[in-house]
């Protein structure tokens, strides 16, 4: 089942881009990075360049699983990992998010957030973080 | 095999301004990827990257069954669009001193980097994102066999 991203998650990804992790079915890992990202409810849409398309096209065809983490300062200020299923539509990689994890080092590392449900997840964030959006 | 350049080593060891941050990607043997940001990172010798192992549970599970990883630069990213890929393992504090993995000797690497928080205290990390207690369980080691760029216009092109 998919889950919508919160405004905080969306803002940090859109502002800072993301690292997108993929792997072949035998587990050979590959990463692409994009700063051209949209988030629509439960879907992270990455605009692919021709080189990125060439790099990951075959991988996505054989294994659609993807993991996404915010880039740049979002990597520490917004420590999330989004996991889901990806497909390429025209020149976009669309990842439907099915699991969300907190990746902050320490006791919260690996805590699954999506199982809280959207409202509880958003409330957790609002109580937890002082920076609900990246600074302009 | 790839060799880290002086510029790569400098970026992997940024002091001040928040330090370097990388993402470590691993995968299960059947292709489920996992990606986490890592704050305690440094180069080691000419072809290794070290990361402090702190509660990296999924990473540990993945590396036990599929010892491969990618390290991508998250910060500072400008002109440093590198992904380092290669064999990857965890040297735990429980490893015997003489245990060897490629050119890494457990006793030596743990003596140098087994207590990262004392060696390089994360004083600059704001309190709301700092872990309450740093409990290091060992050192994650990636042997760099390939470096490619993640610059979107040239993504995937091998640098070395």
- Quick check: B25 and A31 CB within 8 A? yes
Contact B27, B107 (CB under 8 A): no
- Quick check: B66 and A27 CB within 8 A? yes
Of B36, B70, B85, the CB nearest to A81: B36
Contact B110, B138 (CB under 8 A): yes
Q: Which residues contact A136 (CB under 8 A, 6 or more apart)?
A: none
Which run of H or E residues covers position A77? helix A74-77
CA dist., res. B142 & res. A114, Å (int): 31
> What's the mean pLDDT when you consider all of chain B?
91
The mean pLDDT of A54-64, rounded to a whole number, is: 97
Provide the pLDDT for residue B27: 98
By residue count, chain A amounts to 136
Helix (H, G, I), strand (E, B) or coil at B21: strand
Provide the pLDDT for residue B160: 83
Provide the pLDDT for residue A136: 54
- Quick check: A21 and B152 CB within 8 A? no
Contact A52, A60 (CB under 8 A): no
Tokens of B106: 């457990």
Is the pLDDT score of A54 beyond 60?
Answer: yes
Spatial CA neighbour of A38 closest among A18, A59, A55, A61: A18
How close does chain A come to B2, measured CA to CA in Å? 17
DSSP letters for B89-151: EEEETTS-TT-EETTEEHHHHHHHHTTHHHHS--TTS-TTTS-SS----EEEEEE--EEEE--
Spatial CA neighbour of B74 closest among B123, B25, B126: B25
pTM passes above 0.90: yes
How close does chain A come to B121, measured CA to CA in Å? 15
- CA angle (A16 as vertex; A10, A21 as ends), nearest 5: 85
Provide the pLDDT for residue A125: 87
Query: pLDDT band at A106, cuts 50/70/90?
Result: confident
CA dist., res. B93 & res. B99, Å (int): 11
Lowest-confidence segment of A124-128, B17-21, B42-46, B102-106 by average pLDDT = B17-21
Query: pLDDT band at A52, cuts 50/70/90?
Result: very high
| Tokens 């989004």 sit on residue | A82
Tokens of B92: 């735990």
């Amino acid at each position: 089942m998919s889950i919508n991203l919160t405004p905080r998650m969306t803002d940090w990804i859109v502002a800072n881009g993301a690292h997108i992790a993929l792997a072949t079915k035998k587990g050979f890992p590959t990463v692409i990075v994009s700063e051209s990202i949209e988030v629509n409810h439960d879907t992270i849409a990455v605009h692919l360049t021709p080189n990125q398309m060439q790099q990951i096209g075959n991988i996505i065809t054989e294994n659609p699983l993807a993991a996404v983490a915010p880039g740049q300062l979002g990597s520490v200020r917004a420590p999330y990992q989004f996991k889901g299923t990806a497909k390429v539509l025209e020149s976009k990689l669309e990842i439907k998010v099915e699991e969300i994890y907190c990746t902050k080092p320490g006791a919260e590392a690996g805590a699954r957030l999506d199982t809280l449900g959207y409202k509880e997840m958003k409330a957790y964030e609002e109580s937890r973080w002082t920076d609900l959006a990246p600074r302009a | 095999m790839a060799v880290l350049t002086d510029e790569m080593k400098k970026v992997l060891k940024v002091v001040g301004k928040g330090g370097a941050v990388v993402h470590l990607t691993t995968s299960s043997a059947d292709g489920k990827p996992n990606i986490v940001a890592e704050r305690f990172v440094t180069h080691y010798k000419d072809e290794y990257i070290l990361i402090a192992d702190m509660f990296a549970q999924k990473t540990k599970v993945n590396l036990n069954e599929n010892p491969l990883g990618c390290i991508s630069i998250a910060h500072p990213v400008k002109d440093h669009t590198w992904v380092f890929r290669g064999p990857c393992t965890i040297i735990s504090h429980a490893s015997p001193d003489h245990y060897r993995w490629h050119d890494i000797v457990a006793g030596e690497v743990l003596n140098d980097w087994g207590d990262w928080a004392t060696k390089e205290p994360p004083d600059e990390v704001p309190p709301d994102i700092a872990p309450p207690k740093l409990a290091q369980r060992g050192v994650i080691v990636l042997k760099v066999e390939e470096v490619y760029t993640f610059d979107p216009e040239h993504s995937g092109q091998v640098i070395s």
